[in-house]
A = this chain, B = another copy of it.
Amino acid sequence: MSVINLDHMSANPLLPEVQEAMIAAIRENLGNPSSQHRLGERAAELLDESRAAVAALVNASVSREIVFTSGGTEAVNLAIKGVAWAKSDEGKGKHIVTSNIEHNAVIRSLRRLKLMGFTVTSVPVDERGRVNPETVAKAIRPDTILVSIMHGNNEIGTIQPVKEIAAVCKEKKVLYHCDAVDTVGVLPVDVQEMGVDLLSFASNPFYGPTGVGGLYVRRGVPIWSLFDGGVQENRKRAGTENLVGIAGMAEAARLAARDMGARAAHTRKLRDLFLSKLPEYLSDYGINGDPENCLPNLVSVSVHHVEGESVVLMLDDEGFAVSTRSACASGSLRASHVLLSTGLGFADCQGTLVITFGIDNTEAEVMKFLAALKTSVTTLREISPLYKNGQGVPQ
């Protein structure tokens, strides 16, 4: 069965040009960029070119501010743990500020650091999922060494006021790491204009391969490696490079820089179509996130009186891929911490679908999906003890 993919957040398809760049790197049989002889020259050249392309995408002032990683999760872990260890080794303190709606890579990196003697303050968000920069300012203490607050949220799409948060951090002389995994290559991201010290990203959100990502580290920011060994990646990440993946990410970065606007316009059109037609297909639902500051490709909809997991499974049977949350968190039965943080009730959290559009989706697919969604929800509500005669039963 051909499947209509409305879960691009889990896995974007590789662009044809990205596939070709990776295949060329495979066929070329590149050497080792660290070699002393000419067999490594082409590899070193490809690595340099790739770093320049990725640096350009986020407007790093020099290429060597980009550290290639094995993905967004590694980048986030390197940023948070690397800075925490380096700063605490300098005796600057062990306190970190974050928000209640971060990705698990951030939350669990911080949980790990707590086991190592660090302390964490997590600031709340409003009902739209926005962090207030003033709350961040109040949370910063004399022993605060790092603030880690994301750019675009992967479950509700809310864009944070990163520039304002960065200004607070700069004033308080605290380093700022921004998890921008779901915005780099999707929306314009300019590390200099934003004023961040560290910024994590991954290649797949802009149609590059999985298992590749990067971390922007502003020159002079102290950071310990997660991997010690060789002197690769400007001594910030030891180990022979994944050149095939890096070549793919670089090509994806070049294309994203060129096509990002058109892609966002396309998914925004599909998103708007979906939202405008939804009332004709569904009753009793709520849209999560911030309608004014949001990712252009994501809709989070809480369908009352149903279980999201059941909807996902029914839609899967009908050939539609959607999600209840990020793939990284799937398998967990707990309600989304992001939705709970916005004040949503437990039952509505469980009834939430995350729909992420991609450049390969069409308006016709959106219309088909709306019809399938209606059928699934109607069927599930009919068999639910929580929903009788067209309305929810008070619990």
Contacts and interface: CB of A to CB of B under 8 A. Distances in A.
Interface of A: 1, 3, 5, 7, 10-11, 13-14, 19, 22-23, 26-27, 29-32, 34-40, 43, 70-74, 76-77, 85, 89, 103-105, 108-109, 111-112, 115-116, 202, 204, 209-212, 224-232, 238-246, 309, 312-313, 315-316, 320-324, 326-332
A327 B70 CA distance: 20
A210 B35 CA distance: 14
A300 B29 CA distance: 25
A19 B27 contact: yes
A37 B73 contact: no
Contact of A239 (B36, B74, B111, B316): B74
14 contacts: A7-B39, A11-B40, A14-B26, A22-B244, A23-B23, A36-B323, A36-B327, A71-B242, A74-B227, A77-B229, A105-B239, A211-B242, A211-B244, A245-B245
Copy count, this protein chain: 2
Contacts of A331: 34, 231
Given A22-B22, A34-B330, A210-B243, 20 more contacts: A3-B38, A7-B37, A22-B244, A31-B321, A32-B210, A37-B315, A37-B321, A72-B240, A73-B239, A74-B227, A85-B116, A103-B229, A108-B229, A108-B238, A112-B228, A210-B240, A211-B240, A211-B245, A226-B227, A245-B245
Given A37-B312, A228-B105, A309-B36, A239 B10 contact: no
Given A35-B330, A226-B226, A209 B242 contact: yes
A336 to B, nearest CB: 14
Contact of A31 (B10, B19, B38, B212): B10
Given A11-B30, A11-B43, A245-B245, A226 B77 contact: yes
